[in-house]
Amino acid sequence: MIEKKMEQLGYPLPNARKPLYEYVPVVIHNNLAFVSGQLPRVSGQLKYCGKVGEEITIETAQEAARICIVNALTVLNYELGSLDKVKRIVKMTGFVNARHGFKDQSTVIDGASNLLVDIFGEKGQHARSAIGAGDLPGQSPVEIELIVATE
């Protein structure tokens, strides 16, 4: 069971929080769930803030990426009732907010990719883009969105 697996990995699911804006966290159409861009918020506050390669190390940015994934799965779990209904992580887009000239966007986003595979196994293997953003909301170091196939 996915929720237990996440606890074992040290990433227990927090409670879903009310979204801050007019948009919604997840829209499902024809068994394809579109999960809104997630920031590394914990208890509603950005846990990490700043540019990778300046205030934020690559290792911290990888941890921030993992928190984005936990937040994505939190809202998905709330919507689906259970993460066991996840059929496949289809696509991840990861945006990295880094110093000018930064080259290691892929390494940062690997934090998120690896966690998805740790949690879901083969179902967690996804298509992916890792992109350098200009900046990100609240100067978050990373923002991640998912497209997920559901039962």
Under the rule (CB under 8 A), what is the footprint of its own copies? 20-27, 29-32, 34-37, 88-93, 95-98, 100-106, 110, 113-114, 116-117, 125-139, 143, 145, 147, 149
CB of 87 to its own copies, least distance (A): 8
Torsion sign (Cα): 12, 14, 34, 87? positive
CB of 143 to its own copies, least distance (A): 7
Amino acid occupying residue 3: E
Closer residue to its own copies in complex, CB, 17/128: 128
Closest CA to 96 of 81, 120, 113, 121: 113
CB of 140 to its own copies, least distance (A): 9
Q: Is 139 helix (H, G, I), strand (E, B) or coil?
A: helix
